[in-house]
Chains A and B, each alone.
With several copies, the nearest count.
Chain A
């Protein structure tokens, strides 16, 4: 199935892109996607363990199962204000 992945701040610098459409296996969890991404782009691991993730613009945990059309983002440490 297809998801849309967004990259921000350091993660955009590492990936070289703002966003991408991506195929993931049915039943994939957020943590599975993170493992896949860091396999391709070890530079994402600079922030340490899995960063906070958002699915469809809401914070969610690593065990959330992804669905077709989800908008997914892993969020580097936020620094607003």
Chain B
């Protein structure tokens, strides 16, 4: 439901606005070509699938309680991703812009904090390692 091993088409996700929505804030996490100063060739995303679905479900329910007027969509891709591929997509539709930003930001922050998904960076030389965000700056 929230996880997919098929490419995420960012554009097609934006179409679901209700006529009462005035603001749409979205965030797309994209595979980039570097991490902590090293070049990245691709990234393998692994999940504890059933638990990840459940955790994202809890996050979405929590957002609906905190921002009842705001509708939030979440998609997270798993499997082998190339540079430029969308790894995670959040779209938050709301009557007002402040709420759309707040719910979108909360969604991605909470997903990164608790959903059991891991990523293994694969470098151009074929070496790879699991990413450990707890050893990095919080903005990364």
Contact = CB atoms under 8 A, between A and B. Distances in A.
Q: Touching in the complex, A and B, CB below 8 A?
A: yes
Interface of A: 6, 8-10, 13, 47, 54, 57-59, 73, 75-81
Given A80-B87, A80-B116, A81-B88, 7 more contacts: A8-B48, A78-B114, A79-B130, A79-B133, A80-B88, A81-B97, A81-B117
Interface of B: 29, 45-48, 50-52, 54, 76, 87-88, 97, 108, 111-120, 130-135
B75 to A, nearest CB: 11
Given A9-B120, A57-B51, A57-B54, A78 B112 contact: yes
Given A9-B118, A9-B120, A78 B113 contact: yes
A59 B118 contact: no
Contact of A79 (B48, B97, B118): B118
Contacts of A80: 45, 47, 52, 76, 87-88, 111-112, 115-119
17 contacts: A9-B118, A13-B130, A57-B51, A58-B51, A58-B54, A59-B114, A76-B132, A77-B135, A78-B112, A78-B117, A79-B117, A79-B133, A80-B52, A80-B111, A80-B119, A81-B88, A81-B108
A77 B114 contact: no
Nearest to B53: A57
B133 to A, nearest CB: 5
